[in-house]
Amino acid sequence: MPYVVFELLFWLAVVALPVWIWLDAVSALLAASIYLILHILVQDWKFRRFQKWLNSTSLQANPPWRGAWLDVATRIQRQQLLAENRTQLHERRLQDFLLAIQASPNGVILLDDESRIDWCNDTAATHLGLDVKKDRLQHIVHLVRDPLFTRYFSQDNHPSEVLIDGRSASVSSLRKLSVQLHKYGDGRLLLLSRDVTEVIKADAMRRDFVANVSHEIRTPLTVLGGFVETLQSVPLNAQETQKYLQLMSSQAGRMQSLVADLLILSQLEVSQSPNNQDHISLPDLVNQVISEANALTSLLADQLSGQKHALVFDQVPLLRVMGSQKELFSALSNLVSNAIRYTPLGGLVHLTFSQTDDQLTISVKDTGPGIASEHLPRLTERFYRIDQSRSRETGGTGLGLAITKHVMQRHGGELQIESELGVGSTFNLIFPASRISNQIATPDLQTHT
């Protein structure tokens, strides 16, 4: 501004002083007035042009003037650029923040001061069955109609979470949610949702596991205690004493098998998955299973005084499986022994093999009573039994299929179960091609019947 005033005074002097020298003071004053009027008109025109430039959508173009107006325009452009950079920075931070919340495994809903949905991520929409676009600005209680949530929402304080039912496609896939409200800002609320279905299932499985283990151990302990009390209080001859001792030994063996299976499960859950460096000969592995199966068949036939099972083992592929010898033997042995135990005497147990470019499948087929379809999804649960009395007669611990499932998962494979009532069952061990080596294995057996 001082520069502009100095410039104006300078040019007034340049115009008026010569006129004053050549003519008189009145003429000089008139010349100065004319110059001042022209100067004001020019500045007014420049001001209007500057005002038009300010009102334009973009101030990026270089202003077509010089001097003080150019200086003002340059300063305005600089401030505008700084403001735009700050705005873009804030927008990027906001988008990053929203993307981070969007990627969260937990549901997040922002509610305004009237408890209407201002924003929510996709997880929350899935949990509560919301439409991100259509349900915006809708009251949350009108959309989440669970009575527990309504009662929870009506409270003044929300120090803890509440469990409600989430939206599910079917009753079998019912989802449990943990939701909690937090106050923030000026009367606004933050609603967080968390899927706790698996946590609740795990807690239920833990309780069932403890109850089942207690029950499984208590039964033989009760029998043992009764036999010990009998031996201590009742005079028995040598034959009767031997009979009771054999029964006690059987119950002790049952507890020992249970503890052994529990230890195997525990080791499978905490140890690292087996590597691909150990190559196990498939024929040798099956050979061990066959020896155990023949012994079990003879034992059951003697105990139940009946005909032996028919055991048929197809020719074993000359392959090697990469993994743990002990774990793989346990998995295959459990399937074969289960097939023998649950198939009536004289029935057929058939071990087959099939290989494709993608996988190797080992199948154990039996002609037992079969399994109803509603039981198939739960067969690999610990201690799950279809017929409690039948499993105790055959000496099962209820952990064999759980162990087999864990072993297959650790080897990158899976256990598939097919069954039909009155026809029989098929248990498939499916190994991925990455676990199979085409290195020739020494054949110790061919076909066994």
SS (H, E, C) 421-438: CCCEEEEEEEEEHHHEEC
Is residue 185 over pLDDT 60?
Answer: yes
Average pLDDT estimate for 242-250 = 83
Q: From CA 412, how far away is CA 430, in angstroms rounded?
A: 9
CA neighbor of 63 nearest in space, from 88, 42, 80, 46 = 46
Asked if 352 and 365 touch (Cβ cutoff 8 Å), the reply is yes
- CB neighbourhood size of 363 (10 A): 18
- Percent of the chain predicted with pLDDT > 90: 29
Region for residue 139 given its phi and psi (left: phi exceeds 0; alpha: psi -120 to 50; beta: otherwise): beta
Q: Are 431 and 411 in contact (CB under 8 A)?
A: yes
CB atoms within 10 A of CB 242: 11
Q: Which residue has the higher pLDDT, 247 or 183?
A: 183
Contact 135, 143 (CB under 8 A): yes
Alpha-helical runs (H) found in 156-196:
none
What's the whole-number mean pLDDT along residues 331-349? 91
pLDDT of 445 above 60: no
Angle at 191 between CA 187 and CA 197, to 5 degrees: 165
Burial of 158 (0-12, 13-18, 19+ CB in 10 A): middle
When pLDDT is averaged across residues 336-362 and rounded to a whole number, the result is 91
Q: Residues 124-145: pLDDT tens digits?
A: 998 998 998 899 999 999 999 8
CB 250 within 8 A of CB 411: no
Would you state the pLDDT for residue 277?
67
pLDDT tier at 12 (50, 70, 90 boundaries)?
low
Q: In what order do the strands lie in the sheet with 279-281?
A: 279-281, 320-322, 436-437
Residues 175, 166 contacting (CB under 8 angstroms): yes
Residues in the chain: 449
Encoded tokens for 56: 């334009």
User: Does residue 407 surpass a pLDDT of 80?
Assistant: yes
112 has pLDDT over 70:
yes
Tokens coding 400: 């064999």
Indicate if the pLDDT at residue 446 is higher than 50.
no
Question: Is the pLDDT reported for residue 391 higher than 80?
Answer: no
What CA–CA distance (Å, rounded) separates 370 from 419?
A: 6
Q: Which long-range contacts (CB under 8 A, 24 or more apart) does 409-418 make?
A: 410/268, 410/273, 410/274, 410/323, 410/324, 410/327, 411/273, 411/274, 411/321, 411/323, 411/324, 411/327, 411/328, 411/435, 413/359, 415/331, 415/380, 417/371, 417/376, 417/379
Q: Where are the alpha helices (DSSP H) in 234-281?
A: 238-270
Q: Is 277 helix (H, G, I), strand (E, B) or coil?
A: coil
Does the pLDDT at position 447 exceed 50?
Answer: no
Residue 160 and residue 184: Cα distance in Å, rounded? Answer: 16
Tell me the pLDDT tens digit for each residue of 160-170.
899 998 877 55
The phi, psi pair for 24, rounded to 5°, reads: -150, 180
Q: Which of 46-55, 56-65, 95-104, 164-173 is the most confident on average?
A: 95-104
Average of per-residue pLDDT across 432-442: 77
Under 8 Å between Cβ of 368 and 440: no
The answer to whether residue 57 scores a pLDDT higher than 70 is no
Q: What is the mean pLDDT of the chain?
A: 82
User: What's the CA gap between 335 and 332, in Å, rounded?
Assistant: 5
Upper half-sphere CA count for residue 293 (Cβ side, 13 Å):
30
Q: Note the pLDDT tens digit of each residue in 297-317.
A: 888 888 777 888 899 999 999
pLDDT at position 19 is 64
Mean pLDDT of 235-248: 84
Distance CA 370, CA 227 (A): 36
- Is 329's pLDDT higher than 80? yes
**Residue 137, C-beta contacts closer than 8 angstroms, at least 6 positions apart:** 116, 117, 118
Residues 6+ apart with CB under 8 A from 127: 107, 166, 167, 175, 177, 193, 195
Q: Which residue has the higher pLDDT, 225 or 181?
A: 181
CA distance 407 to 331: 6
Q: C-alpha distances in angstroms, 70 versus 5, 49, 76, 77, 148?
A: 16, 12, 10, 10, 67
Q: What is the arithmetic mean of pLDDT over 329-357?
A: 91
